[in-house]
Structure 1
Amino acid sequence: MNSQQSSNIYPELGSDYRIEKEQYQSYLEKGHIVLRGVAIPEEAMIYRNEICDQVRKLNPHQKDLNDRDTYGKAFIQVGNLWRQSKVVEKFVLARRFAKIAADLMGVEGIRIYHDQALFKEPGGGHTPWHQDQIYWPLDTEHTITMWMPLVPISEEVGSMTFASGTHKEGPITRQVISDESHKTLSQYVTSRGYEQVNYGAMAAGDATFHSGWTAHCAPGNPTNTMREVMTIIYMADGVRVAEPDSSARKNDLLAVFPGLKPGDIAASPINPLVYHRNWDK
């Protein structure tokens, strides 16, 4: 860990957030949900400074916004922050968030796939339509992403836009996030009449959760403030590594599951178990 900052002053984020039966059923049907107050604004904001510090240090972009391609204009993307800072580790490995993931997917245990800060700069471009799981070499449908703003998000920026029910289709296209994936999935979603949902304004600590196969995109940022979002990708405990069928999945196999091979349980040292129902007994 590079951060020497004590994490003792940061809230534990260990208490339960109750998922009602109707919410569980809605998530299973639509492949996405918004949950208000997953963290109270004060909890989200107290972690914000450390997450922002890490993003500033690790920002991969060397070019001005206008000189980047569509993917580069979409956001500043930094992953595995929990391995850089004890403070961020406390946030990413929090029991509260992991239990929500377990409850929505209806599974016994939850492991981390990885985290990602996704900061959309003022004037940043749209995030093209895509499906997350085309990157992940996993033999399961039990994956889920928490997307939590660390600052209030206005109506004109909004949440991601989800195509309800597309998670039931599995891989619609193998295209990575790009102009091509945007065109392909936009036409698919529109032609088949899938409901498109954007949850609008969000408070710091609100969160959306979506399945790995749910098609989604995000609008650009027309405001003069950074859209600061932290995401955590979870997978069910016990799932296996799949044979990578693309260069994107081959890259993730090496980066996310060091030392593992197809057929192994997806549980390398950087995929810790963060919640199991047995812990509550």
Structure 2
Amino acid sequence: MELQQLSEEQKEFYRTNGYLLDLAPVYTEAEMKQLNRDLQELTKRLEPGETMKDIREWHMSSTWLYEICTHPQLLRYVEGILGPNFYVWGSQFFAKAPGSPDTVAWHQDAYYWPLHPHHTVTVWLAFTDVDEENGAMGIIPGSHKAGLIKHRNVSGDSVLTLELEQGTFNESAAKPLRLKAGQVSLHDDAIVHGSPANPSDRWRIGLTIRYSGTKVKCDLSRAPQFRAYLVNGTDEFLHNPQGELPIEKFARLPKEFHIASADEYESGQ
């Protein structure tokens, strides 16, 4: 299948609004059924008390997950935003079971991450259909242009420890990111986003993948486990430690190798 490139109109929409939706599916329905079976195999590596949210940065240990992160169509979409030279550094599953009260407070990814300059794209790959009924992520279009906004401590059922202060953005402007299984959305590291609970009888499962341009440097004093995997172009800066390719299809990554702890920054949808 011929790879789809972002059009100039799509690139301009992303620059203006900070996100992109309605892209050609990356995986077919049959492929997604197999990926979901594979995901169940991967979850067997979780320890008691862990959930899918604990499958983070396992692209460093699992060839199955690394191959998803380097799918040629994903890389073409990201190249349209970041340009030819970029690396992958983060991945994490976010799953809301039927009836889950878990929410994700309104936040900005870049507020959590020790990366500079801000030049990162998150791909959100839907493993299940996602809509308002089962807790689809919402974004505030254009909010990435406001720079980083002050956050405060949050309580309740949010999986994050910080949230944006009230009055710093217009929640009524939120747009839900509806996706079919196999589709992706892209969003800027500074866009305001969050997600509600899942009161439906359906699972909501998505994989987030983080890509940064090679000019982006990690503060290793805050995230010494950070590893960059060059997946497109060349790394003319060599700012970050390079990761070693995984060799096992399904393998867990010990928690001490996670890029950061959940309390330090855990930005999801």
Q: TM-score normalised to the size of structure 2?
A: 0.75
* SS of 2:194 mapped into structure 1: strand
* SS of 2:134 mapped into structure 1: coil
Partner of 1:137: 114
Aligned residues: 232
Give, as a single letter, the amino acid of the residue that structure 1 aligns with 2:243: P
Q: Which runs of 5+ in 2 are unaligned?
A: 229-236, 247-269
Partner of 1:84: 61
166, 170, 187: which one aligns with 2:147: 170
Give, as a single letter, the amino acid of the residue that structure 2 aligns with 1:143: T
Partner of 2:231: none
Give, as a single letter, the amino acid of the residue that structure 2 aligns with 1:35: D
Is 2:38 the partner of 1:50?
yes
CA offset digits 1:202-253 (Å, max 9, x no partner):
2111111101111100121112232111111100123223476xxxxx1xx1
Kept after mapping to 1: 8 A contact 2:132/2:176:
no
Distance 2:4 2:22 in 1: 10
Partner of 1:211: 188
Give, as a single letter, the amino acid of the residue that structure 1 aligns with 2:129: P
Sequence identity (%): 21
TM-fit CA distance, 1:112: 0.5
Distance 2:121 2:54 in 1: 18
Distance 1:133 1:61, change over 3 A: farther
Kept after mapping to 1: 8 A contact 2:87/2:213:
yes
Distance 2:15 2:47 in 1: 35
TM-fit CA distance, 1:165: 1.4
Partner of 2:242: 268
Partner of 2:174: 196
TM-fit CA distance, 1:163: 1.0
Partner of 1:278: none
Q: Which runs of 5+ in 1 are unaligned?
A: 1-13, 63-71, 245-249, 273-281
Distance 1:270 1:112, change over 3 A: farther
Is 2:95 the partner of 1:111?
no
Give runs of ≥4 in structure 1 deviating > 3 Å: 59-62, 174-183
Partner of 2:13: 26
Distance 1:194 1:168, change over 3 A: farther
Q: Which has the higher contact order (CA 8 A, sep 6+)?
A: 2
Distance 2:48 2:187 in 1: 26
Distance 2:146 2:245 in 1: 27
After the TM superposition, which of the residue ranges 123-132 and 155-164 deviates more from structure 2? 155-164
Distance 1:33 1:44, change over 3 A: same
Distance 2:245 2:64 in 1: 18
After the TM superposition, which of the residue ranges 142-151 and 31-40 deviates more from structure 2? 31-40
* SS of 2:225 mapped into structure 1: helix
TM-fit CA distance, 1:57: 2.7
Give, as a single letter, the amino acid of the residue that structure 1 aligns with 2:96: K
CA offset digits 1:162-203 (Å, max 9, x no partner):
01112122211255776674461x53112xx78321133x21
Kept after mapping to 1: 8 A contact 2:125/2:208:
yes
207, 220, 224: which one aligns with 1:254: 224
